[in-house]
Amino acid sequence: MANATMTLIASQVLSSKTTNVTFSSIPQTYTDLKLLLSAQNDDGGAYTDLLFVQLNSDTTSNYSETRIYGFSTTAGSSRTSSSGFLAPRIDSAGGTANVFSCTEFYIPNYTSTSTKQIWSFGVAEQNDTSNAYITADAELYRGTSAITSISLAVNGAYNFSINSSFYLYGIKNS
């Protein structure tokens, strides 16, 4: 029986704020990828902002997602199509100080040369009673090349805050 393994490919903990974090030259030796991040951005005018994710430096309209979300006591769903994934919200500097969101992406069969279905989930907690945000996204990437790079930014071009951390794992059977 094969044993599933999860290996840390690369990680980055920010020592200064930055607009964009890119994992490049991703090895093609795994079956799936898992990306975890604990992040905040420097938008002082909001509690949360959307992540903006692009694959393979592809800036065309190859991305769409359907999401369900809960915000405080409100639940809803929406669909977007853009030049990047508008992925789960992360905490912003305008919310509670020193609070970082938790976000996960699962990218199965990332070496495929067909379209790719991706899943993401994120929680932006605020340590208060009215501004927590939880999101689950079903994402479709229409690009047909194997994924070799993943680029993360904050929608609205804000900076990731210092100490935001990013971990990319590879998953395969040993």
Partner 1 sequence: MTDETPTKVIVCCADHDHSTDPACEIKAESVVVPLTADEIAANEAAAAQAQADADARAKAQAALDALKASAKAKLVAGQPLTSEEADTLVI
By the criterion CB under 8 A, which residues form the site for partner 1?
9-12, 14, 16, 18-27, 42, 50, 52, 153, 155-159, 166, 168
Residue 1 Cβ vs partner 1, minimum distance, rounded to whole Å: 27
Nearest to 23 by CA among 5, 39, 6, 37: 37
Select 1 or 15, whichever has its Cβ closest to partner 1.
15
Supply 67's token pair.
């999401």
Residues with Cβ within 8 Å of residue 144, at least 6 apart in sequence? 113, 114, 115
Residue 55 Cβ vs partner 1, minimum distance, rounded to whole Å: 14
Select 61 or 127, whichever has its Cβ closest to partner 1.
61
Select 50 or 118, whichever has its Cβ closest to partner 1.
50
Select 50 or 87, whichever has its Cβ closest to partner 1.
50
Residue listed under structure tokens 């509690």? 47
Q: Are 143 and 62 in contact (CB under 8 A)?
A: yes
Residue 120 Cβ vs partner 1, minimum distance, rounded to whole Å: 19
Residue 117 Cβ vs partner 1, minimum distance, rounded to whole Å: 22
Backbone angles phi, psi at 105, to 5 degrees: -120, 140
Name beta bridge partners: 120.
105, 137
Select 23 or 63, whichever has its Cβ closest to partner 1.
23
158: which DSSP letter? B
Residue 42 Cβ vs partner 1, minimum distance, rounded to whole Å: 8
Q: How far apart are alpha carbons 49 and 89 in whole angstroms?
A: 5
